[in-house]
């Protein structure tokens, strides 16, 4: 006959499954929330029960009593939610954050107004520059036309002077080139 080895000793009682959470009956009033809920202790696995029994030498009922003393079975849900909300929601911090956001928003609005003013000034300056550029372009064209006419007149005068007295014209031209 083959012997089978078990991990658990047969003398220990197996833990029983706990019942689900029991909710009190609904109240007739719609505005009366349930404030207390009964909870069962957490379920223990077989191995944890066996090992803790071996360590402490206690029975399953002693272990169950120990769990009940550690984990409250009667929890006031509304009180816990109110406590958590009070710790999370601090109106002073909220007010400070809103004030900071308003300050930042005001600063951004002021910068946007400054940018809009700068854009308007730049557009006016660009318009003035374009008008000035067009005026200067016309003046340069007039000056070039005047220079061209002056050069033609000068060339005509030189040609007439060279025809009237070619020797004097050559001497004047050489003396003018030697001074340079």
Residue 64: count of CB within 10 angstroms of its CB: 18
Which residues on neighbouring strands pair with residue 76, listed in sequence order?
36
The pTM of this model reads: 0.36
Residue tagged 């197996």 (tokens)? 14
pLDDT per residue as tens, the chain (180 positions): 455 555 555 555 555 666 566 666 655 545 545 545 555 555 655 555 444 444 455 566 666 666 566 655 677 888 888 888 777 767 787 788 899 999 999 999 999 999 999 999 999 999 999 999 999 999 999 999 999 999 999 999 988 888 888 888 888 888 888 776
What's the rounded Cα separation, in Å, for the pair 93 and 148?
A: 80
Residue tagged 């910068």 (tokens)? 111
What's the distance, CA 160 to chain centroid?
83
Tell me the torsion sign for CA atoms 81, 83, 86, 87.
Answer: negative
Crossing angle of the two packed helices 46-56 and 60-70, in degrees rounded to 10: 100
């Amino acid at each position: 006959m083959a012997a089978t080895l078990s991990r658990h000793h047969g003398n220990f009682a197996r833990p029983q499954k706990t019942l689900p959470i029991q909710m009190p009956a609904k109240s007739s009033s719609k505005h009366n929330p349930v404030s207390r809920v009964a909870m069962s202790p957490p379920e223990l696995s077989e191995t944890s029960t066996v090992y803790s029994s071996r360590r402490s030498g206690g029975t399953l009922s002693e272990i169950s009593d120990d769990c009940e003393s550690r984990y409250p079975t009667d929890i006031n849900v509304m009180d816990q939610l109110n406590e958590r909300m009070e710790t999370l929601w601090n109106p002073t911090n909220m007010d400070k954050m809103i004030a900071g956001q308003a300050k930042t928003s005001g600063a951004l609005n002021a910068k946007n107004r400054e940018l809009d003013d700068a854009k308007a000034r730049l557009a006016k300056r660009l318009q003035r520059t374009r008008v000035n550029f067009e005026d200067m372009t016309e003046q340069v064209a007039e000056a070039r036309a005047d220079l061209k006419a002056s050069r033609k007149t000068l060339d005509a005068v030189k040609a007439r002077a060279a025809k009237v007295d070619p020797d004097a014209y050559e001497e004047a031209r050489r003396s003018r080139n030697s001074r340079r």
